[in-house]
């Protein structure tokens, strides 16, 4: 059990290893727990739990390549990154993607860009520089 409570989110994944690796690499957060049904990534202020979709449900889920962006959800997780260019390269290498540089914008002193993980979940990355 951890000593202090931090904010967090849960993402369900058909491919637990691939999706958890994507987030660990993109956000540069360490894996603090790796179990057969879930992986926990944590920064000092936030915990991301990636949970495996139960096999019976996962068998009915088709993930295209590249994945279709799931833009019809009301939630978008945001992750701090060192640079948008490095995050764009990492996301592509890890099976996800970020929109092109022409789709970046500035918000509250950060440079921002939307993208998606390897299963199409929409994300946002924010950096101090492009």
Q: What is the pLDDT of residues 16-59, one digit of tens each?
A: 999 999 999 999 999 999 999 999 999 999 999 999 999 999 99
- The superfamily CATH assigns to domain 7-127 is 2,3-Dihydroxybiphenyl 1,2-Dioxygenase, domain 1 (3.10.180.10)
Q: What ranges do the domains of the chain cover? A: 7-127
Residue 81, pLDDT > 60, answer yes
Residue 130, pLDDT > 90, answer no
Share of the chain above pLDDT 70, in %: 98
Mean confidence (pLDDT) of the chain: 95
The structure's pTM equals 0.93
Q: What are all long-range contacts of 91-97, with beta carbons under 8 Å and residues at least 24 apart?
A: 91/22, 91/26, 91/115, 91/125, 94/18, 94/21, 94/22, 94/25, 94/26, 94/118, 95/18, 95/22, 95/67, 96/22, 96/26, 96/67, 96/123, 97/66
Residue 129, pLDDT > 90, answer no
Residue 3, pLDDT > 70, answer no
């Amino acid at each position: 059990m951890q000593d202090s409570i931090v904010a967090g989110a849960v993402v369900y994944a058909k491919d637990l290893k691939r999706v958890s690796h994507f987030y660990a690499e993109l956000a540069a957060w360490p894996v603090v727990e790796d179990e057969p049904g879930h992986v926990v990534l944590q920064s000092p202020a936030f915990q991301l739990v990636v949970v495996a979709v139960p096999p019976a449900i996962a068998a009915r889920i088709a993930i295209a390549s590249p994945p279709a962006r799931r833009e019809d959800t009301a939630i978008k997780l945001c992750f701090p990154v060192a640079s948008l260019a490095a995050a764009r390269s990492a996301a592509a290498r890890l099976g996800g993607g970020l929109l092109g540089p022409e789709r970046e914008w500035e918000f509250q002193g950060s440079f921002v860009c939307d993208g998606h993980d390897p299963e199409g979940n929409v994300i946002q990355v924010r950096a101090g520089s492009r």
